[in-house]
Structure formats: structure tokens, C-alpha cells
Amino acid sequence: MTKKKGFLQNSIWGLASNILQNILLSVFFVIIARNFSKEDFGNYIIANSLYQVISSFSALGLGQWFIRQLNEESDLSHFLNKFLKIQIFAGLFFYAINIAVTFALYNDDTLKILSLLIGINIVFDNIIYSVKHLNIAQFEQNKTFVVLIIEAVIKLGLGLVIFIYPYTIVEMAVALVIIRVITLNLFLRISTSKLASLKSIIKNKVNFIDFKSLIIANWPFIIIGSISVIYWRIGSILISKFLSAASVATYEVAYKLFSLAEIIPVIISATIFPELLRAYKGEGTESFNNLYKLFYKIYLVFGFLAFSFIYSFADDLVLLAFGKNFADAGFYTKGMFLTILIFPTALLQANVLIILKMEKKDMWFNISSFAVNFILSFVGLMYFKSLTTINLSIFASFVVFHLLQDMVMVKQKIATPLSIFTSYLILFACWAAYVIGSDYVNHYFLFIGFWTIAFSIIILTDHRIKGFIQEKIGLNIKQV
């Protein structure tokens, strides 16, 4: 297998796994949201959010370092066993932190039990995290695909069982831990059977100096690897302290819909990143800048398309999927989708920073954005007991993040102040027109009419987008 073919197949397996797994897990999410009380579901979300935040630190963000280091190791088995043991120690340490944080922050007994159960996954996840990156390094993402889909199918099966046997939220947590153990066993059997086993991992010796030197040498990876998870999970934790468990459940429903929408630009980014990189390295600055402007416009269009769809149909979608229990979630989903207006272009510009080898600058932008989000959310919830506070804080922090990126784009002469101002002005005008129009026009007619006009104008006036569509899907627009 050639390197290029291996990379392509690796990417396809990764994307296919991500999409199918998200679909199956989303169905599971809908089932449990509909069949538990908002309080029980909210407690589960709080415990799960704490686990995800702590777990993001526990993995130490060493995935990319691990992949790079594999190529330099002569004894792959010894290196893998040593790394896995370090990850187990880290998992146990952070599991203890997870317990301490839960008992320090909360008094609810059900929440404490859920956190004790769900938190043990931190140890399992650390091992799985390492094996996933081993599969990436060896161009065997298909193994990851198989295991993750099996896990998602089992979880969906667990969700369906509730219609036959109405189990409690604690019983569900126990079942989910058992499923994670099965997943871990499958990963070890399929991916590392010739390189590592539980016995060989235990026998491998790791001292504190090895652990300490690894952390000191790679601390930026820990920050980069954890900041995105903390960014989104911190909302649930703050809501749990200032509002009710039911509010946490409502927020999670809104976030679930948002996370499904954000998958699309993430997948598109994985596809266009090589094109941007190739243009930057081989075709010159002008070609790269033109390609950036093309993708920027496409991302901008997608962002507003996602926002307008949710603004028009969120109430119906939430009621259909989650039932009357979450009737209020539609309003907060619309608020959260303000961020989707600029999320895709922020993602594009983050990729550009990587191409320009400005990863550290990107890291500081992420930290700054998180700080804005946390401060506004914390202070806002002290005075305004509403989920709208969280949504506006997230949006404001993304605006700051985007503006910081814009400054780099201008400095690198990739964009101009005028082009940036124009894009914001057009976005604001479209947002205002759509929101005002929704008060006077049926939402079906508004959505279809708006995008029929918008797509016609874009395709007929922008030859770059017209050419891009013809190249990618083989459609001659003149024949339409």
C-alpha cells in the first residue's frame, strides 16, 4: 500500500466511523432523554461532563507525540507497553481527582454514585486513546471503525431495552461501564494482540522520572488536547451549580443538536486541508489566498444555512425527537446556534494557522476564548439565572477567537480589513433580515424562499463557487 493510498483510506475509515457512530449514539441519547426524568437525566449529564473534562487531561494530549515517536522506536512492543502503563497510572490518578471534585462540588447522592461509576471510564479511555492512535500510525483505522461501531450498536441496544425493562439511571451507568470494558477488550484483541497484553503492560517498569520528563517535554499537547473538551463541557458544570439538573438536561439537548451540525464543517475541513496545504506549498501565495477566500465563503454560507434551518424548525425538531418534556429546549437551541454562524470560518482559519506553523498562537487564541467564555458564563449566571447567559457567552468568546484569527489573516496578507468587515456586515444583515422575516412569514416559506434566492445569487455571481461545484460533483450548472 502506498503512503498516499494509506492516508486516504485512513481518512475515509475515520470519517465513516465518526458519522455512523454519531448517528447511533444520537438515537441512544434521544431514547434515554425521553425515558428518564429531567432531573435523573440532568444528573447523568453532570457526571458525564465531569468525566469528560477530567478525561481530557488524563490522556495527557499525547496522541500526536505518540504517533511521531512510534517511527523512531526500534522496539515497538516495549515502547507501547511502557506508554500504556503510563496512561493507566495517569487514568487512576485523574479518576481519583474526578471523585474528589464530585464530592467537593455536589451533595446529591445519585450524582455521586453516577460519577463514581462513569468516572472509572477515565482509566479505560486512556488505554483506548493509545490504541486508537496506534491504529492511525499503522494506517489501520478500519480496526477503530469496527470496534466503535460495535460499541455504538450495543449502546443503542441498551437504549432499546428500556422499552422492555425500565431500568434506573444508576443501572444504566453500570451497563455503560460494562460496555466500555467490552470495547477495551476488543481494542486490545484486535489492535495490540501481537504487541501488548494486560500481562505485558503490568510487567513493564515505569518510574516517576519517565512520567515527569514526558509531561514536562509535552505540556502544550495537554493544553491543546483538553481545551476544546473543557470549552464545551464547562457550560454543563456551571449550569449545575447555578441552575437545576433539569436545566442541565435542556442545555445538553441544545448542545446535542449543535454538535451534529458542527460535524459537517469538521469533516469538510479534513477534506480541504490537503488542498490548502498543497496550494500553500506548491502554487504560491496568490493561489492559496484565492482558495482560502473560496472556502471562507462556502463555510460562511453553511454557517448561515445551519442557523436558519434551526431558527425555523428547532421547536418542531425538539418536540418530535425529545417530547414535551423538553418543549423549552427549542428556544435555547436557537440561541446556541448563534455560534454556528462563525464556527465554520473559525475552524477554517484554525487550519490556516496550522499550515502557517502557528500552532502555539492557535493555542493561546483557544485559551483566550475559553477564558472569555468562562468569565462571562460565571459572572452572567450570578446575576441572570438563564441558559441564554451560557449561549451568549459562548457566542461572544467565539467572536473574540475569530477576531484574533482575523488579525493574523490581515497581518499575513491573506485577508484585508475591508473583506473581513464586509463578511461580518453581510452576515449581520442576513441574520437581522431572517429573524425579522420569521415574525411575518411562515417558517417553511421563509426558509425555502430565502435559500432559493440566496443560492441563485451566489452560484450565478460567484464563478469560483460555480467552478468548485462543477469540479466536485460533475454538474454543469448551465444545464440546470
Fill in the DSSP letter of residue 283. Answer: I
pLDDT at 59: 73
Rounded CA gap, 409 and 417, in Å?
9
pLDDT at 286: 80
Which residues 6+ apart lie within 8 Å of 175 measured at CB?
Answer: 158, 167
Kindly report whether the global pTM for this prediction surpasses the value 0.85. Answer: no
Radius of gyration of the chain (CA): 23
**In Å, how far from its chain's centre is CA 119?**
20
* List of the chain residues with pLDDT < 50: 1-7, 475, 477-480
Rounded CA gap, 126 and 134, in Å?
13
pLDDT at 221: 65
**In Å, how far from its chain's centre is CA 262?**
7
Q: How many angstroms separate the Cα of 216 from the Cα of each of 209, 211, 213, 415?
A: 10, 9, 5, 37
Q: How many angstroms separate the Cα of 24 from the Cα of each of 18, 127, 147, 383?
A: 10, 23, 14, 39
Gap between the terminal Cα atoms of the chain: 40
pLDDT at 5: 47
Q: Residue 84 in contact with residue 130, Cβ under 8 Å?
A: yes
Give me the amino acid identity at 13.
Answer: W
